Structures are given as structure tokens and as C-alpha cells.
Amino acid sequence: MSLSAIAADEGFSPYVDEQGNISFPGGFRTSMVHLGSWFVPEGGASGFHDVYTEKESVEAYRETGKFPDGATIVKELRASDAGTYTTGTNVSYATDGLKQWFVMIKDEQGRFAGNPVWGDGWGWALYKPDDRGTNVASDYKVDCLGCHVPAKANDWVYTEAYPTLSKD
């Protein structure tokens, strides 16, 4: 499989239809590679943020320093709790309390210029646990981009917490 297009044999992306609608990548926890995690201690986005992508996307990133066309990034937000363990007190851990998922699909060709969830080289989606079938983001500039502005120079992706992208 080509490293320049993840879904080269199947079209652009298995998670994107002809109109640019992004579907939830079911089974990503076992079919994708865990890139790394963030822990946000307070606020609306508090909890563990586990991030995943395809194995081929990791290989391409390691080779080129960027995500390839068609790459999928899934960030799963989970609630957290803390307890006392043999490793220490107030040890935080992820619970089964799902908060939401963010999905980004790399689009180097600007395929969906008229679709408001596509732009700046990516497709942007947000899914809530009560309906994985509906992307609740309606305009990436309003719903998504604000959190990514500090990562603009890095293709809108915070990669510092992703040790999997580093060459071994």
C-alpha cells in the first residue's frame, strides 16, 4: 500500500463518502495504532485523551514528518478518576465514562471545498457517545479550529504527546 494515500486501493478514505460526510471509525481501538495520550486535569475537556491513527499513517509520518493524504486521527476523551495504589496516592486513571471523539481526515487535495467541515487540509468531525452516527460539528472554523490554532505551524496537529511517531 502506498504511504502517500492510506486508502489508495479503496478510494480516498473508508470513513468519507462522495459528499465529504465523515463517518465514525468503529473499532479504531483495535484496528489502529495508539499514538499517545494527554491528561487534562480540569475543565470541560478534563480526563484522558487517547489518540489513534492507522499503522500506515505512522509509517508515513516517520518517513516524511507529516500525515499522508487520507490519514485518520481519532481522539477519544474519557472521564478520569483517581485512587491510592502501590504506585502512589491520587493516581489518575481513565474510566469507562466516554465523553466524545474528535476525528480528523487528512485531505491534501482540498476535495470538499464547499463542505463546511473541511478545510485547512483536514476534514473535522465530533461525535458524542449517544449518537456515533452523527457528526455534530457543522463548521470546522467555529467548532474545531479554535483549539488547533497553537498547532497551525505543525499542520494543525499537536504531536508532542505522540511518542509512536518517533523513529525507534
* pLDDT tens-digit map of 68-78: 999 999 999 99
Average pLDDT, the chain: 93
Mean predicted confidence (pLDDT) in 57-61: 97
Nearest to 164 by CA among 68, 60, 80, 91: 60
Instruction: Read off the C-alpha cell for 96.
Output: 469507562
Rounded to whole angstroms, how far apart are CA atoms 87 and 84?
8
| Confidence (pLDDT) at 153 | 95
Indicate yes or no: pTM above 0.85: yes
Confidence of residue 167 (pLDDT cuts 50, 70, 90): confident
Taking the CB of residue 84, how many other CB atoms lie within 10 A of it? Answer: 9
| pLDDT recorded at residue 168 | 75
pLDDT tens per residue, range 5-55: 443 335 799 999 999 999 999 999 999 999 999 999 999 999 999 999 999
> pLDDT at position 31, please?
97
